[in-house]
């Protein structure tokens, strides 16, 4: 095929897709068949709607294929839909054979079955009399599809089949039952043939996207609206790696290792994992360039296994960084709080540095680096809300310096990370204005901040995940008109979620005061065992005003500067 264009697109009916001798192959190690009754039911419902409206068309989504010749194509995305439609065709053909065997006119229905098979499934070899196929599935499913479904043979032990084979057989049975239960379709070969050749064949429409090589296939995938696509970028990367192997023992070994790797890092997170792995050595690794980078680095079988070796060494750590309760931290309990914090702040850019620190440092120094990046993340992202695009180049620089042994200690790591360490002055200023909406993920952040401040103030443990405290809004989320006397109504929205307006309170006391006015709330604050809350009652004795809120938040900001500080920055004298 010509290589001048990245892709060609056109609208194509299902019949046009499989006509004119075209064949479609699912790459050997693409994902197995996975559709279930919910998807089959939706498809059948759409077809039934079309049957009564012959002038309408139903859009089946994009079908992405890589052209190997004018008639041979690899299915990059869309195999579940094409496989299901082919099985529906086989169910209809099977029913026509049953009608032929019955009392209905046999010759026309025999011709219909043969014609539909030639159009949608494949032709019978005149010598062997074995039915050929226009569609070839992956390494798990193709033998069952060709040897049973295409030949209209029932498996001897369906329950013993692999899951995806069993789903293929159940799909065939599902459509067979629906056809048999429809009085018209079950007995009228002409109507059944029309349903397949006209409704399914001509009224189901795809956007056919044809690309000229695997790199363009990946590019198309990354730039399309991904909603509804069956194939993931992980599948595309996997298919490329498998395509580099030629020896069956290598393919089997890679399949085992790939399954274990994906079980560790999870299918949907693999591109992120791969990107951070590559970012240890390469700056500015963008998601859309992953496939190109892998293709440049990995061209031979030994290079495939070299990449797998490197990924396997880092996979468990990657998974553990996403879960503070991971078994990885059982013997490294000092790391767990910082892992929890990084997940709370929803930051990942430091992952290449953590890969490098794990491989270059002992467990104590690794924990110090974890703490450092947690503090940086809180200052930079959670409080100051700065542009995260600036983080990855700095973390890459530190990771590369560690891996190449230009630096060796946490203190030397900090010297590189200084560029993204928010200064005390800016951090205090930003913290003094911080607002945290107390719902969803942000509610956990608000409680974390208040719990850390409470622990620092009182000296007693206050774990944000297990402490029973609720978040109390001094100015309530839904203030009554009585609050206008202390805070003007037009300032309410800006004040309710200010950190200075939030405090920890026992659940019973919080229920007791509800949206009450401040004097009643203050009485409850005096009873609270939380020192921050008791101090609030001392600082605002009569009413709660914006001036009180600002003063309290300024005091908390001064405390925060000391509390969220790198170990490698000297403490300033107490004010």
> pLDDT, tens digit, for every residue of 141-200?
999 999 999 999 999 999 999 999 999 999 999 999 999 999 889 889 999 999 999 999
The model's pLDDT over 473-493, given as tens digits with 9 standing for 90+, comes to 999 999 999 999 899 999 999
Is the pLDDT assigned to residue 229 strictly greater than 50?
no
The model's pLDDT over 126-152, given as tens digits with 9 standing for 90+, comes to 666 566 789 999 989 999 999 999 999
pLDDT average, residue stretch 213-222: 60
Q: Residue 7: its pLDDT value, please?
A: 64
Confidence of residue 340 (pLDDT cuts 50, 70, 90): very high
Identify the bridge partners of residue 309 per DSSP, sorted by sequence position: none
Q: Residue 6: its pLDDT value, please?
A: 55
Confidence of residue 1 (pLDDT cuts 50, 70, 90): very low
Exposed, middle or buried: residue 141 (CB in 10 Å: 0-12, 13-18, 19+)?
buried
Between residues 217 and 289, the one the model is more confident about: 289
Among 309, 335, 310, which Cα is nearest to 323's? 335
Q: Residue 199: its pLDDT value, please?
A: 94
Q: Residue 14: its pLDDT value, please?
A: 94
Q: Residue 495: its pLDDT value, please?
A: 96
Q: Residue 500: its pLDDT value, please?
A: 96
Between residues 304 and 573, the one the model is more confident about: 304
pLDDT average, residue stretch 403-418: 97
The model's pLDDT over 233-244, given as tens digits with 9 standing for 90+, comes to 787 788 788 888
Is the pLDDT assigned to residue 305 strictly greater than 60?
yes
DSSP character at residue 217: H
Between residues 10 and 339, the one the model is more confident about: 339
Q: Residue 200: its pLDDT value, please?
A: 94
Residues in the chain: 575
pLDDT averaged over the chain? Answer: 90
pLDDT average, residue stretch 494-505: 96
Long-range CB contact pairs, 281-287, < 8 A, 24+: 281/400, 281/403, 282/396, 283/392, 283/393, 283/396, 283/397, 284/392, 284/393, 284/396, 287/222, 287/233
Is the pLDDT assigned to residue 518 strictly greater than 50?
yes
Q: Residue 210: its pLDDT value, please?
A: 87
Is the pLDDT assigned to residue 275 strictly greater than 90?
yes
Do 218 and 64 touch, CB atoms closer than 8 A?
no
Share of the chain above pLDDT 90, in %: 70
Do 33 and 137 touch, CB atoms closer than 8 A?
yes
CA distance 18 to 119: 7
For residues 442-481, one letter each, b for 16 or more C-beta atoms within 10 angstroms of the residue's C-beta and e for the rest, the string is eeebbbbbbbbbbbebeeeebebeebebbebbbbbeebee
Instruction: Pull the structure tokens for residue 247.
Output: 């020896």
What does the radius of gyration of the chain's CA atoms come to, in whole angstroms? 32
Among 457, 449, 427, which Cα is nearest to 502's? 449
Long-range CB contact pairs, 345-349, < 8 A, 24+: 345/374, 345/377, 345/378, 345/381, 345/382, 345/445, 346/381, 346/441, 347/377, 347/381, 347/388, 347/391, 348/272, 348/276, 349/388, 349/391, 349/392, 349/395
pLDDT average, residue stretch 297-326: 95
Is the pLDDT assigned to residue 220 strictly greater than 90?
no
Confidence of residue 444 (pLDDT cuts 50, 70, 90): very high
CA distance from start to end of the chain: 75
Is the pLDDT assigned to residue 219 strictly greater than 70?
no
Q: Which residue has the tokens 């609050």?
A: 483
Instruction: Pull the structure tokens for residue 536.
Output: 């609030």
Between residues 268 and 179, the one the model is more confident about: 179
Q: Residue 29: its pLDDT value, please?
A: 74
Q: Which residues are CB-neighbours of 553 under 8 A, at least 6 positions away?
A: 431, 432, 433, 434, 498, 499, 500
Is the pLDDT assigned to residue 3 strictly greater than 80?
no
Confidence of residue 439 (pLDDT cuts 50, 70, 90): confident
Among 24, 34, 3, which Cα is nearest to 206's? 24
Report the SS3 class of residue 506. Answer: coil
Do 7 and 211 touch, CB atoms closer than 8 A?
yes
Q: Residue 235: its pLDDT value, please?
A: 76
CA distance 499 to 139: 57
Confidence of residue 349 (pLDDT cuts 50, 70, 90): very high
Between residues 396 and 122, the one the model is more confident about: 396
The model's pLDDT over 87-117, given as tens digits with 9 standing for 90+, comes to 999 999 999 999 887 655 567 888 999 899 9
pLDDT average, residue stretch 254-264: 93
Q: Residue 248: its pLDDT value, please?
A: 83
Among 269, 274, 239, which Cα is nearest to 255's? 239
Q: Which residue has the tokens 């078994």?
A: 327
Between residues 9 and 6, the one the model is more confident about: 9
Provide φ and ψ at 504, rounded to 5°.
-90, 145
CA distance 193 to 77: 28
Q: Residue 313: its pLDDT value, please?
A: 96
The model's pLDDT over 15-33, given as tens digits with 9 standing for 90+, comes to 999 988 899 999 877 889 9
H or E element, residue 77: strand 72-77
Q: Which residues are CB-neighbours of 44 under 8 A, at least 6 positions away?
A: 175, 178
Q: Residue 5: its pLDDT value, please?
A: 53
In the chain, where the domains are located: 7-223, 233-429, 437-563
Instruction: Pull the structure tokens for residue 230.
Output: 């069956």
């Amino acid at each position: 095929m010509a290589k001048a264009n990245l892709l060609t697109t056109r609208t194509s009916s299902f019949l046009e897709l499989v006509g004119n001798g075209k064949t479609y192959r699912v790459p050997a190690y693409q994902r197995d068949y996975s559709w279930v009754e919910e998807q089959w039911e939706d498809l059948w419902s759409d077809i039934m709607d079309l049957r009564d409206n012959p002038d309408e068309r139903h859009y089946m989504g994009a079908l992405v294929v890589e052209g190997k010749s004018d008639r041979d194509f690899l299915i990059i995305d869309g195999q579940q839909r094409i496989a299901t439609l082919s099985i529906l065709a086989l169910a209809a053909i099977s029913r026509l054979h049953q009608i032929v065997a019955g009392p209905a006119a046999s010759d026309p229905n025999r011709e219909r079955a043969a014609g539909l098979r030639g159009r949608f499934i494949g032709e019978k070899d005149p010598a062997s009399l074995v039915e050929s196929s226009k569609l070839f599935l992956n390494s798990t499913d193709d033998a069952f599809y060709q040897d049973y479904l295409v030949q209209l043979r029932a498996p001897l032990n369906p329950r013993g089949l692999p899951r995806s084979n069993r789903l293929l057989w159940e799909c065939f049975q599902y459509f067979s039952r629906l056809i048999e239960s429809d009085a018209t379709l079950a007995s009228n070969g002409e109507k059944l043939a029309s349903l397949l050749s006209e409704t399914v064949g001509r009224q189901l429409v795809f956007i056919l996207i044809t690309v000229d090589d695997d790199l363009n296939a990946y590019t198309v995938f990354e730039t399309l609206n991904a909603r509804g696509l069956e194939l993931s970028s992980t599948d595309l990367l996997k298919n490329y790696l498998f395509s580099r192997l030629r020896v069956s023992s290598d393919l089997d070994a890679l399949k085992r290792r790939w399954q274990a790797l994906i079980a560790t890092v999870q299918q949907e997170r693999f591109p992120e994992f791969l990107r951070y792995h590559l970012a240890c050595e390469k700056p500015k690794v963008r998601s859309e360039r992953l496939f190109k980078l892998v293709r440049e680095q990995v061209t031979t079988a030994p290079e495939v296994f070299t990449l797998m070796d490197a990924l396997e060494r880092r996979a468990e750590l990657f998974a553990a960084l996403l879960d503070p309760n991971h078994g990885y931290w059982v013997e490294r309990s000092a790391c767990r709080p910082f892992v929890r914090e990084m997940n709370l702040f929803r930051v990942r850019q430091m992952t290449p540095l953590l890969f490098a620190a794990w491989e270059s440092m002992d467990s104590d120094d690794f924990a110090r680096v974890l703490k450092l990046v947690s503090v940086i993340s809180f200052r930079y992202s959670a409080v100051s809300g700065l542009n995260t695009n600036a983080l990855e180049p700095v973390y890459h620089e530190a990771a590369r310096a560690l891996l190449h042994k230009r630096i060796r200690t946490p203190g030397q790591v900090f010297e590189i990370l200084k560029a993204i360490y928010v200064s005390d002055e800016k951090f205090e200023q930003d913290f003094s204005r911080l607002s945290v909406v107390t719902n969803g993920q942000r509610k956990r952040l608000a409680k974390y901040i208040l719990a850390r401040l409470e622990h620092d103030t009182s000296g007693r443990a206050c774990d944000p995940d297990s402490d029973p405290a609720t978040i109390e809004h001094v100015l309530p989320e839904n203030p009554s008109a009585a609050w206008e006397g202390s805070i003007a109504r037009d300032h309410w929205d800006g004040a309710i979620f200010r950190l200075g307006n939030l405090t920890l309170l026992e659940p019973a006391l919080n229920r007791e005061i509800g949206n009450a006015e401040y004097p009643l709330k203050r009485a409850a604050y005096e009873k609270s065992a939380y020192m921050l809350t008791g101090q609030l009652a001392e600082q605002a004795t009569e009413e709660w005003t914006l001036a009180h809120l600002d003063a309290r938040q300024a005091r908390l900001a001064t405390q925060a500067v000391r509390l969220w500080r790198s170990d490698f920055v000297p403490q300033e004298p107490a004010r």
